[in-house]
């Protein structure tokens, strides 16, 4: 149970009245907010991550797994992805077969982790439901693609940035006030449109670029 629609505005009441679960309604409304946060972090702050899809899917997955286990699984997936890169480097495989092998390695490692969790009486870990789990596992494709396109180091940075964005997003959509506000006044979600128009036209330097170009900024008179 994620949200509570008892104290809802007219529209939400109407929608839930048609039998749509409250969680579904609120999560759908949260989605534009998350997308906007990701866009903001990219355009203004300069955190790249793996696009908009991956961080959002991770955010929703974290809701399912809980923060602790979700992050643990995320980190293990990335670690296995790194190890797989070294293991498979010498074989010079084509992209999809290579990815498939990496995915099986990830799947086995997750199995081992869940099993260990279970044996250590961490029932929460063992009982993590399969869909959020798969959502995090599939992230390895983005990771491998980034490794090939941009190199191992950049892929690591992107993975880390994805994790950071996901954590920010997670805390935002877990925020009780925000949930309540959205339930009461779902229209405020439309505010993301003008915000995104502004972001889409923003041509100033990103915060990260002030850091990147610091030598020039220091030097210029």
Partner 1 sequence: MLKFFENGKKILGMNSRNLSYIRPCNLSKAKRLADDKILSKKFLKKAGIPVPKMIAKISSSNALEKFDWNVLPSSFALKPSRGFGGEGILVVYGKKKDADNVWIKADGSLITAEDLKNHVRNILDGSFSLAGVSDTAFFEERLKLLKLFKPYAFKGIPDIRVIVYNKVPVMAMLRLPTRDSGGKANLQQGAIGAGIDLASGITTTAVQGKFKIIEYAPETRFLLSGIKIPYWADILKLAVQAQEISGLGFLGADIAIDKDLGPVFLELNARPGLSIQIANLAGLKERLNRVQGLDIKTIERGVKVGQNLFGGEIEEGLEEISGRKVIGTAEKVKLIGKDGKEIEAEARIDTGAHSSSIDADLAEQLGFEKTVEEFKKIDTSGYILRPENEAIIKKDFIEKYKMQIPDLADVAVIFSSSGSSIRPVVKVNIIMDHIELISSCNITNRTDLKYPIIIGKRNLGKFLIDVNKK
Q: Which residues bind partner 1 (CB under 8 A)?
A: 43, 46, 92, 94-95, 145, 148-151, 154, 201-206, 209-210, 212-213, 215-220
Task: State the minimum distance, in angstroms, from the CB of residue 158 to partner 1.
Answer: 13
Task: State the minimum distance, in angstroms, from the CB of residue 44 to partner 1.
Answer: 9
Sole residue written with tokens 């798969």: 134
Closer residue to partner 1 (CB): 67 or 205: 205
Closer residue to partner 1 (CB): 153 or 176: 153
Task: State the minimum distance, in angstroms, from the CB of residue 164 to partner 1.
Answer: 18
Closer residue to partner 1 (CB): 185 or 202: 202
Task: State the minimum distance, in angstroms, from the CB of residue 54 to partner 1.
Answer: 16
Task: State the minimum distance, in angstroms, from the CB of residue 128 to partner 1.
Answer: 31
Closer residue to partner 1 (CB): 123 or 203: 203
Task: State the minimum distance, in angstroms, from the CB of residue 25 to partner 1.
Answer: 34
Closer residue to partner 1 (CB): 85 or 206: 206
Q: Among residues 152, 153, 170, which one has the least CA distance to residue 74?
A: 170
Per residue, the 3-state secondary structure of the chain, as one string, reads CCCCCCCCCHHHHHHHHCCCCHHHHHHHHHHHHHHHHHHHHHHHHCCCCCCCHHHHHHHHHHHHHCHHHHHHHHHHHHHHHHHHHHHHHCCCCCHHHHHHHHHHHHHHHHHHHHHHHHHCCCHHHHCCCHHHHHHHHCHHHHHHHHHHHHCHHHHHHHHHHHHHHHHHHHHHHHCHHHHHHHHHCHHHHHHHHHHHHHHHHCCCCCHHHHHHCHHHHHHCC
Closer residue to partner 1 (CB): 194 or 204: 204
């Amino acid at each position: 149970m994620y949200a509570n629609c008892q104290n809802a505005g007219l529209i939400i009441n109407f929608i839930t009245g048609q039998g749509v679960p409250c969680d579904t309604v609120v999560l759908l409304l949260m989605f534009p907010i998350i997308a906007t946060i990701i866009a903001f972090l990219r355009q203004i702050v300069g955190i790249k991550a793996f696009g908009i899809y991956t961080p959002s899917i991770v955010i929703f997955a974290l809701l399912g797994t809980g923060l602790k286990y979700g992050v643990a699984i995320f980190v293990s997936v990335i670690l296995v992805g790194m190890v797989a890169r070294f293991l498979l480097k010498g074989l010079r495989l084509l992209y999809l077969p290579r990815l498939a092998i990496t995915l099986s390695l990830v799947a086995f490692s997750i199995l081992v982790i869940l099993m260990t969790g279970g044996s250590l009486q961490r029932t929460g870990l063992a009982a993590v439901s399969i869909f959020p789990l798969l959502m995090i596992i599939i992230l390895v494709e983005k990771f491998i693609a980034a490794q090939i396109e941009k190199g191992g180091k950049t892929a690591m940075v992107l993975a880390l940035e994805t994790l950071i964005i996901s954590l920010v997003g997670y805390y935002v959509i877990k925020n009780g006030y925000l949930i309540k506000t959205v339930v009461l006044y779902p229209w405020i979600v439309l505010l993301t449109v003008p915000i995104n128009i502004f972001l889409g036209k923003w041509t100033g330097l990103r915060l990260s670029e002030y850091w990147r170009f610091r030598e020039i900024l220091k030097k210029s008179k």
